[in-house]
Structure 1
Amino acid sequence: MKRTVTAAIALTVLLAVSAGCSFLKGAGNAGNIKATISLWHNFTGDDLRAQTMRAIIQEFEEEHPKITVQVREIAPDEYRKRLKESAKSGNMPDVFILWSGAMTREYAAESLIQPIDELVDAYPEWRDGFLPNSLEAFKDRGLVYGAPMGLSPTSILYYNKRIFEENRLTVPKTWSELLYVIHTFNKNGVTPIVLGNKAGWPAQSSIFSTLADRVTGTEWLMNAARQERGVRFTDPAFIDALNYMKQLGDSGAFQEGYQHIDNVEMELKFARGEAAMMIDGGWALTNLAANASQEAMNEMGAELLPAIPGGKGDPNTMAGVVGSGMALGKNVEGAAKEAAFELIYAMAGPEAQQRTLESNQLVSYKIELDKSKVSPIFAEVYDLVNSVSLTPVYDSVLTTEGAEALNDGLQELLEGGDPKKIAASVQDAHAKALGQLLGRVPS
Structure 2
Amino acid sequence: MKTTRKLGIVLLLMTMLLAACGSGESGKQAEGSADGQEKVKLTIWHNFAGDDLRAKSVRSFIEQFAKDHPEVELDAQAIPPDGYRQRLSTVAAANEMPDVFFVYAGSQSSELYQAKLLQPITEVLDAHSDWKDKFLPGAFEPYEFEQGQIYSAPLGMSATSILYYNKALFEKNNVKVPTTWDEMMTAVSAFNAKGITPIALGNKAPWVAQSTILGSLADRVTGTEWFKNAAAQKGAKFTDPEFIQALGHFKELVDHKAFQDGANSIDNTQAEQYFIQGNAAMMISGAWTLTNLAASSTEDQMKDIEVTVLPPIPGGKGKPGTISGGAGGGLALSSRTEGKARELALELIYAVSGPDAQKAIAESNSMVMYDTDIDKSKVTSLYYKAFNLVKSTEVTPVYDAYLSAEAAEVINNGLQEIMMGGSVEGVAQKLQDAQARSAAP
If the TM-score is normalised by the length of the shorter chain, which range does it land in?
0.7 to 0.9
3-state DSSP of counterpart to 1:140: coil
CA distance, structure 1, for counterparts of residue 192 and residue 207 of structure 2: 25
- C-alpha change, 1:401 and 1:272, in structure 2 (3 Å) is same
Partner of 2:79: 72
Residue 35 (structure 2) pairs with residue 33 (structure 1): no
Per the TM alignment, residue 353 of structure 1 is displaced from its structure 2 partner at its CA by 0.3
Provide closer, same or farther for how the CA distance between residues 134 and 37 of structure 1 changes in structure 2, counting only shifts above 3 A: closer
- The answer as to 2:419 corresponding to 1:414 is yes
Cα distance per residue 1:233-288 (max 9 Å; x no partner)? 12121111112112223333223444455444443443333422111123432333
Q: Does 1:206 align with 2:212?
A: yes
CA distance in 2, matches of 1:329, 1:312: 41
DSSP-derived class of the 1:276 partner: strand
Q: CA deviation at 1:102?
A: 5.9
Count matched residues: 401
Give the distance between the partners of 1:184 and 1:86, measured in 2 at CA.
54
Write the deviation string for residues 293-329 of structure 1: whole angstroms up to 9, x where unpaired. Answer: 1211211111221222332223232223223322346
Among all aligned residue pairs of Structure 1 and Structure 2, give the percentage whose two residues are the same amino acid: 45
What is the distance in 1 between the residues matched to 2:64 and 2:308?
37
Corresponding position of 1:241: 246
Residues 54-74 of structure 1 show CA distances to partners (whole Å, capped at 9, x for unaligned) of 554566677779323232212
**Whole-Å Cα distance in 2 between the matches of residues 402 and 92 of structure 1?**
32
Q: Does the CA contact (< 8 Å) of 2:290 and 2:383 recur in 1?
A: yes
In structure 1, what is the Cα distance between the partners aligned to 2:416 and 2:84?
20
Residue 311 of structure 1, aligned match among 310, 316, 328:
316
Amino acid at match of 1:365: Y
Q: Are the aligned partners of 2:156 and 2:368 in contact in 1 as well (CA < 8 Å)?
A: yes
Kindly indicate whether the alpha-carbon contact (under 8 Å) linking 1:92 and 1:329 is maintained by their aligned counterparts in 2: no
Q: Kindly indicate whether the alpha-carbon contact (under 8 Å) linking 1:173 and 1:306 is maintained by their aligned counterparts in 2.
A: yes
Give me the TM-score of the superposition, normalised by structure 2.
0.76
- The alignment status of 1:53 with 2:58, answered yes or no, reads yes
Code of the aligned partner of 2:46: L
Q: Identify the structure with bigger relative contact order (alpha carbons < 8 Å, sequence gap 6+).
A: 1
Task: Tell me the TM-score normalised to structure 1 length.
Answer: 0.76
In structure 2, what residue type is equivalent to 1:275? A
Q: Over aligned residues, Cα RMSD in angstroms? A: 3.6
Q: Call closer, same or farther: CA 1:291–1:339 in 2, change over 3 Å.
A: farther
* AA of the residue aligned to 2:192: N
Q: Give the structure 2 partner of residue 190 of structure 1.
A: 196
Opposite residue 280 of structure 2, the aligned amino acid is: A
- Match status 1:255 vs 2:260: yes
**Which of these two proteins has the greater Rg computed from alpha carbons?**
2
Gaps of 5+ in 1: 1-25, 437-443
One-letter identity of the residue aligned with 2:381: P
Cα distance 1:36–1:323, how it changes in 2: closer, same or farther (>3 A)? closer
Q: Cα offset for 1:208?
A: 0.7
For 1:359, give the aligned amino acid: S
Residue 79 of structure 2 aligns to a residue whose secondary structure is strand
Matched residue SS, 1:144: coil
For residues 27-66 of structure 1, give each alpha carbon's deviation from its aligned partner in whole angstroms, at most 9, with x where no partner exists.
xxxx93334543335x6474x4345335545666777793
Residue 146 in structure 1 maps to residue 152 in structure 2: yes
Distance apart, 1:207 and its partner CA = 0.8
1:127 is aligned, of 112, 119, 132, to 132
Q: Are residues 113 and 34 of structure 1, via their aligned partners in 2, closer, same or farther at CA, if it must alter by over 3 Å?
A: closer
Cα displacement (A) at 1:99: 3.8
CA distance in 1, matches of 2:87, 2:316: 37
CA contact (8 A) 1:34 1:335 kept: no
Q: Confirm or deny: 8 A CA contact 2:214 2:250 kept in the other structure.
A: yes
1:38 and 1:161 map into 2 onto residues whose CA distance is 43
- Taking a change above 3 Å as real, the CA distance of residues 335 and 425 of structure 1, as seen in their structure-2 partners, is farther
Secondary structure at the counterpart of residue 247 of structure 2: helix
Distance of 1:159 and 1:85 partners within structure 2: 41
Whether 1:171 aligns to 2:171 is: no
Residues of 2 paired with 1:258 and 1:301: CA distance? 23
Task: Give the secondary structure class of the aligned counterpart of 2:280.
Answer: coil
Structure 1 residue 431 corresponds to structure 2 residue 436:
yes
- Counterparts of 1:322 and 1:34, CA distance in 2: 30
Q: Mapping of 1:4-403 within 5 angstroms?
A: 32-41=39-48, 44=50, 46=52, 48-53=53-58, 55-56=60-61, 66-75=73-82, 94=98, 95-100=100-105, 104-111=109-116, 113-117=118-122, 119-121=124-126, 123-142=128-147, 143-228=149-234, 230-328=235-333, 341=346, 344-403=349-408
Distance 1:68 1:164 in 2: 53
Distance in structure 2 (CA, Å) of the matches to 1:279 and 1:342 = 39
